[in-house]
Each structure stands twice: as C-alpha cells, then as structure tokens.
Amino acid sequence: MDDNGGGPDAAAERAKVVELIRAGRLADAEAWSRAAAVRRPQDGELWGLRGVALRRLGRRDEARAAFERALELRPADAAVRYSYGLLLMEIGDFAPAEATFAQLVAAQPGASELHRQLARARVKLGRTEAALASLREAVAIDPKALDAWLDLIGVSADRADGAGAEAAFEAATAANPDEPRLLRAWVMALKRLGRPRDAEAFLRERLPGLDAAAWAHFELALLVQDAEAALDHLRRAAALEPANLDYRVALSSHLQASRTADEGARAEESYGIVRAALDRR
C-alpha cells in the first residue's frame, strides 16, 4: 500500500476529489476522500481536499481536524493554511485565525487579499488600529482590491472616524470609478456615522445614474421624510427586484401603515404583495 501520497494512483485520487468538489458533488467528494485517506493516511494534499469538502458541507469540526492533519503533513501548503484560516473565521475562533493569516502574510507580503483576511480577524478581536493598518496595506498593494476598500470604509465608519471613512471612499472611487458597491458602502457609512441627511443628499444627487438600482431606491425610502416619496421608492425597488423579500415586506408594511383616501386600495395592494411573496417560496 502506498501511504505516502506519491505515485500516479495518488494523483488520480486527488484529481477525482477535485473534480467532485468542482461539480458540487460534495457528499461524493467527502466519501471519496474518506476512503482515499484510509489508503493514503500520509497524503497531506488529500487531507486538505477533504477539509475543503467537509467545510462546504458545514461539517466544521471534521473539516478543522482534516485541515490540521494536512498542515501537520504539509506545513508549507499556503492553500490549505488559507482554507484553514477561513474556517477558523467561520467558527469564531479568531485568535488562531489571526495567527494563521499573519503567518501567510509573512510568507507572502505582496498578497493583498491575505492582508484583508488578517484585518478581518483583527476586527473580530477588537484590534481596530491593527486591522486598519492591514487594510491600508492591502489597498496600497492593489488599489483595485474592492473588498479591501469596502472593509476600510466600513471599519473607519464603525469607529466613528468620518474623515477616515471619507478619505477611503474618495481614494477607492479614484481607483475604481463608477463602482456601485462603493456608492452603497458610502451610504451605509454615512448612516452609521449618524449623518442620514447627508446619505439622502448623496443618493438624490446620484439617483439619475442609479435609477435601475433597487438598493438605491430602498435606501432612499428609509431615508426620506416624506411618506409618499418613500412609498414611491419602495414600489420602484420591489419592481426592480421582485424576488427580494426584504423589499416586498417593507413595501407591504408601508402600505398597511398609510392613512390616505385610497386606504382600501393600498390594503389590497399590500395583500397582493404578501401573497406573491408567499407563492415564490
């Protein structure tokens, strides 16, 4: 029996597990990797693939054990260590996650995404300044790293640093012009900073270019102080994304709360929205 992970048969078995994972056949990938691991208990790459299948199946304790076995056998395997770090974040074990991503950053200091993942762990540990430093490093390495910019804006807003959040937003939009996710992030940041009127004004100014964006109408509906204007935006949001249950529930609630001459018609519209939402489930 070849238990050292070598030979063409070992490569073929690993390739089969990869094929099953990519095809979304996770239960089959788990079963195949379990049987293969019995035959080749020293195959660290196989244990890493087994960890991936188990993680995607939601079997996190088993996935953790598989990843840790893989790292015992292949301590330099960055892909397995990265997957292990993501798993640690998912299960809320943030201190080992920080150590894992710090190790990866030390080995690959030019990898922007690793700095972002390190920042995520540090945020969870309450190490906000260190997290911000990691995020700034991430965007310095790759100004197109949109997720890192979004995190930098959000973390700055969460610590009530309006100037820092605005500077991050401006730098992000300069590097990623016309990116709608940045516009939404800035609206949410303004709300968290206690500046709802600024958020409303920002959206109103940009609405001509965002008229087909359901989120923009939904956020405006939450921000505007005129009930009828809010209703118009909610209707627009629900029409643009009819499958979005949050939009439908908000529209239905708004209709039920309205007190106008056409109250009966609005009650009927509200019932129709709820009925349509239930039919979609």
Q: Where are the domains of the chain?
A: 1-91, 96-194, 207-281
**Gyration radius from the chain CA atoms:** 24
- The residues, ordered by sequence, that sit 6+ positions from 96 with a Cβ below 8 Å of its Cβ are 88
What's the CA gap between 113 and 135, in Å, rounded? Answer: 9
Residue 203 and residue 210 in contact, taking contact as beta carbons nearer than 8 Å: yes
Q: What is the pTM of this model?
A: 0.85
- The residues, ordered by sequence, that sit 6+ positions from 222 with a Cβ below 8 Å of its Cβ are 230
- Beta strand extents in 78-189 (DSSP E only): none
What is the predicted pLDDT for the residue at 275?
Answer: 61
Q: What tokens were used for 28?
A: 């089959």
CA 61 to chain centre: 22
What is the predicted pLDDT for the residue at 280?
Answer: 58
Average pLDDT per consecutive 10 residues, the chain (281 residues; last block may be shorter): 57 93 96 93 96 97 98 96 98 98 98 98 98 98 98 97 97 94 97 97 95 96 93 94 90 74 55 56 55
| CATH number for domain 1-91, candidates 1.25.40.10, 1.20.1050.10, 3.30.2090.10, 3.30.70.2740 | 1.25.40.10
- The residues, ordered by sequence, that sit 6+ positions from 66 with a Cβ below 8 Å of its Cβ are 47, 48, 50, 51, 54
What is the predicted pLDDT for the residue at 1?
Answer: 41
What's the CA gap between 69 and 46, in Å, rounded? Answer: 10
**Cβ-based neighbour number of residue 96 at 10 Å:** 15
Within 13 A of 230's CA, how many CA atoms are on the CB side? 17
Which CATH superfamily does the domain covering 96-194 fall into? Tetratricopeptide repeat domain (1.25.40.10)
Comparing 1-91 with 96-194, is the CATH topology the same?
A: yes
Please say whether the structural domain 207-281 has been given the CATH code 3.90.960: no
- The residues, ordered by sequence, that sit 6+ positions from 55 with a Cβ below 8 Å of its Cβ are 63, 83, 86, 87, 90
Q: Name the strand (E) or helix (H) holding 276.
A: helix 263-280
Within 13 A of 247's CA, how many CA atoms are on the CB side? 22
C-alpha distances (whole Å) from 177 to each of 126, 169, 189 are 31, 11, 18
